[in-house]
Chain A
């Protein structure tokens, strides 16, 4: 199925019996494999509005992120959202999978940037929530429910987002350590400084790692220099200001993907423990989110989960044989509410039955 409009998507859903698997660019085949008929959003490819003066835009779900960003950049604006680059990745897919990137440090996740959402449900209902103004508390925030729902509640057909000024001058402060504990202490201290960085990331591999702190704006170079001074005080080595820093950040993003990647929903202070799992790690050091590259073996995944218990570790990229193990166990009380939610929004269980947390 490849609807050309949200209305057509709703009509197709009304006729369909399921099971269904929504698909954007097909770049994130995450979660347990399911054999649903694919409903793809490639036909929902219009940038419906770009309200330059209001710093907002309305995108159909199938709009590739790179295409949207190019349109915004032409007006010196951006969607402050930079997940791992893939030309095929769409706004709808990024939202459904709650993908994220280094800019999350300053601007929040996609859940924080989406101001309006239209979804098509399995009974053919086409429902909107929010709006297209950046401040709005009328009605319930269904956008947040669908963000990270992995296509199991319904099909996201249209999204309104808030934009930010695009700042081209950037500079990154970098500092290294061979000791995970020292790196962790530095991360805690840097996260607490009033430096207003755009990004604060960690990269760890082969028993050593570094922190990267990116600044944007006219004073970016000077701010990075003061961050470097702070890093030295905190005992980091090989400190430097990188003015030409795009490649550094491309690498951070790229390391969120791989053959077998476990995402850790952690705390800032978890950094040393995550590094000590012995694998290659990248993460948002100021937010406590980490991505661990693992050998694609069931025992290894279980071992890392055990070491980081009780943090929730979700398997993202993985061979199909391991993807049945995607989700950590959910609290039964919360799961009961999620089940009722699934029942209300998708009573036919048409959308990816069994593919979500707790077998939802």
Chain B
């Protein structure tokens, strides 16, 4: 008698071919983790389908066997959203990496999910570009971007993945193929497309993606200003935004982050300064020029005595390299670190940074801060040494308290990395039971059998068919910390 999983593997093997169906330990090791390395699970089997039909056949086989599955793009996600299931199937879309259609006149590109983020902009350059630009854009896949509603450094001005996806071909968990949205905007009916983007692989698997691309800006002007403190730099950010400027990007690094990044990127940054602020304006030349002088003035008025303006594309690239080096650079000064992704209303920046500093002191740990300052998206990096007993647990506890500080300021537990497995335990702090229940209704409408990426996003496992609950007071509301939202 053949065990059900073995029977399923046989079917999957027949669908994708022997060479694209992995069951050996050494083959599966590659897929144990996504970009969040502290979680690792070896999947029961990994398949790499070649096209929509194969994805559909795999998903149907899973549905018939009652076996759950997880979709994976490039595996660069930072919340464990693509963490496999030990007794499940991992569907890897990296072979589906064709750009299927470019329609310049209508500003649309149709891609398979395994296409990298950068490849979309490259395909339509130089006249057009695809704005969402996660730091991992060289490797991360559009399929993964859709699942996570990825952001990036330029989303303060340009928005997120959800603002640029206009159509999706989706294989639902029962194996049906549906088209959500299309090449045109405003398709009548419920905006299932809007619900799908950012659903972290729990509503189905996108097999074709229509993206909106837009004209590349005429001019880009970039500066880095150094300040004595994150307070002063934060004030500059507030003033810039208040003045009516909408920069393409405003990024901040604190002292620790500057030190680490400089050691890796050698950009000539003054180590020891309290904060570096990278401001990039892009758009129509005339508007950009006028606004850039305004930004310069604000930086100086807020106490920056060291402002560097990128003279050419090489220097601009160096500024960005230094900023993007922050995460990997941290590995040089600390054996391990946790990255947080909390969001706060921008005006609460000074007090939340104070709170983080206080917590770091209390725990005797180093916390470096790198953030998308324009939209209040913080990436505190909690440094620790995993070889020391109990350090990881303490770092995790500290991370949780940083999350609490963000929520108390009226913010969110995640701005762009997603909930995945990593932050699901915080969901109940941000959302009331009735909210989670409404989320579950959506999930059940798409996947009543609960086979698509179960165990992610929601704080506790739940089945479809549960009786909807009634309104209970929100934990933050009960504590008088927030109005209901």
A49 at interface, CB cutoff 8 A: yes
Q: Is the CB of A218 within 8 A of B191?
A: no
Complex CA gap A138/B418 in Å reads 6
A85 at interface, CB cutoff 8 A: no
B128 at interface, CB cutoff 8 A: yes
Cβ < 8 Å to B, chain A residues 175-225: 188, 191-196, 217-219, 222-223
Q: How many Å from the CB of A326 to the closest CB on chain B?
A: 9
Contact residues in A for B182 (Cβ distance below 8 Å): 265
Q: Is the CB of B189 within 8 A of A357?
A: yes
Q: Is the CB of B287 within 8 A of A144?
A: no
A267 at interface, CB cutoff 8 A: yes
Contact residues in B for A149 (Cβ distance below 8 Å): 190-191
Complex CA gap A345/B284 in Å reads 45
Q: Is the CB of B411 within 8 A of A133?
A: yes
B246 at interface, CB cutoff 8 A: yes
Q: How many Å from the CB of B484 to the closest CB on chain A?
A: 6
Cβ < 8 Å to B, chain A residues 77-123: 98, 100, 108-109, 111-112, 116, 118-119, 121, 123
Q: How many Å from the CB of A234 to the closest CB on chain B?
A: 14
A274 at interface, CB cutoff 8 A: no
Chain A, residues 328-340, CB within 8 Å of chain B (1/0): the string is 1011011111101
Contact residues in B for A330 (Cβ distance below 8 Å): 188-189
Q: Is the CB of B411 within 8 A of A142?
A: no
Q: Is the CB of A344 within 8 A of B284?
A: no
Given the contacts A53-B238, A54-B347, A138-B414, A268 and B107 also touching, CB distance less than 8 Å: yes
Closest chain A residue to B217, Cβ basis: A194
Closest chain B residue to A358, Cβ basis: B189
Complex CA gap A22/B448 in Å reads 29
Select one of B188, B243, B345 contacting A328, CB under 8 A. Answer: B188
Complex CA gap A343/B242 in Å reads 45
Q: Is the CB of A127 within 8 A of B435?
A: yes
Q: Is the CB of B484 within 8 A of A118?
A: yes
Select one of A48, A166, A219, A265 contacting B287, CB under 8 A. Answer: A219
Contact residues in B for A142 (Cβ distance below 8 Å): 195, 438-439, 442
Select one of A160, A217, A312 contacting B184, CB under 8 A. Answer: A312
Given the contacts A10-B471, A49-B483, A334-B179, A192 and B346 also touching, CB distance less than 8 Å: no
Q: Is the CB of B160 within 8 A of A135?
A: yes
Cβ < 8 Å to B, chain A residues 250-277: 263, 265-269
A27 at interface, CB cutoff 8 A: no
Q: Is the CB of B188 within 8 A of A331?
A: no
B351 at interface, CB cutoff 8 A: no
Complex CA gap A53/B345 in Å reads 9
| Contact residues of A: prevailing secondary structure | mixed
Chain B, residues 60-102, CB within 8 Å of chain A (1/0): the string is 0000000000000000000000000000000000000000000
B183 at interface, CB cutoff 8 A: yes
Select one of A14, A140, A338 contacting B439, CB under 8 A. Answer: A140
Cβ < 8 Å to A, chain B residues 391-425: 410-419, 423
Contact residues in A for B191 (Cβ distance below 8 Å): 111, 144-145, 147-149
Chain B, residues 328-357, CB within 8 Å of chain A (1/0): the string is 000000000000000111110000000000
Chain A, residues 131-160, CB within 8 Å of chain B (1/0): the string is 111111111111111011100010000101
Q: Is the CB of B198 within 8 A of A194?
A: no
B186 at interface, CB cutoff 8 A: yes
Complex CA gap A76/B245 in Å reads 12
Complex CA gap A360/B381 in Å reads 48
Contact residues in A for B427 (Cβ distance below 8 Å): 138-139
Q: Is the CB of A192 within 8 A of B104?
A: yes
Complex CA gap A314/B189 in Å reads 10
| Contact residues of B: prevailing secondary structure | loop
A7 at interface, CB cutoff 8 A: yes
Q: Is the CB of B445 within 8 A of A337?
A: yes
A16 at interface, CB cutoff 8 A: no
Contact residues in A for B178 (Cβ distance below 8 Å): 331, 333-334, 337
Contact residues in B for A144 (Cβ distance below 8 Å): 162, 191, 193-195
Contact residues in A for B127 (Cβ distance below 8 Å): 192
Complex CA gap A6/B104 in Å reads 46
Contact residues in A for B148 (Cβ distance below 8 Å): 137
A126 at interface, CB cutoff 8 A: yes
Complex CA gap A26/B238 in Å reads 39
Given the contacts A288-B184, A337-B178, A138 and B423 also touching, CB distance less than 8 Å: yes
Select one of A140, A265, A327, A345 contacting B198, CB under 8 A. Answer: A140
Q: Is the CB of B485 within 8 A of A128?
A: yes
Residue with the highest number of chain A CB atoms closer than 10 Å, among B199, B286, B344, B418: B286
Closest chain B residue to A160, Cβ basis: B485
Cβ < 8 Å to A, chain B residues 427-485: 427, 430-432, 434-439, 441-446, 448, 457, 468-471, 483-485
Given the contacts A53-B347, A136-B415, A128 and B431 also touching, CB distance less than 8 Å: yes
Q: Is the CB of A48 within 8 A of B483?
A: yes
Q: Is the CB of A137 within 8 A of B417?
A: yes
Contact residues in A for B192 (Cβ distance below 8 Å): 145, 334, 337-338, 341
Given the contacts A125-B437, A148-B191, A164-B246, A131 and B471 also touching, CB distance less than 8 Å: no
A3 at interface, CB cutoff 8 A: no
Closest chain A residue to B283, Cβ basis: A196
Contact residues in A for B346 (Cβ distance below 8 Å): 53-54
Stretch at the interface among B136-144, B314-322, B369-377: B369-377
Q: How many Å from the CB of A147 to the closest CB on chain B?
A: 6
A-B contact pairs, 15 of them (CB 8 A): A10-B471, A131-B343, A133-B412, A137-B149, A137-B160, A139-B435, A139-B439, A145-B442, A192-B127, A192-B128, A194-B217, A223-B286, A267-B183, A343-B445, A356-B189
Q: Beyond the given A139-B419, A344-B445, could you list 8 further A-B residue pairs with CB under 8 A, ordered by the A residue number?
A: A138-B423, A142-B195, A144-B194, A147-B191, A194-B216, A265-B185, A331-B179, A333-B177
- State the B residues within 8 Å of A (CB): 104-108, 127-128, 148-149, 151, 155-156, 159-160, 162-163, 172, 176-180, 182-195, 197-199, 215-218, 238, 241-246, 283-284, 286-287, 290, 343-347, 372, 375-377, 410-419, 423, 427, 430-432, 434-439, 441-446, 448, 457, 468-471, 483-485
Closest 10 CB pairs of A and B: A144-B194, A127-B438, A165-B244, A219-B286, A53-B347, A344-B441, A136-B412, A194-B218, A340-B445, A135-B375
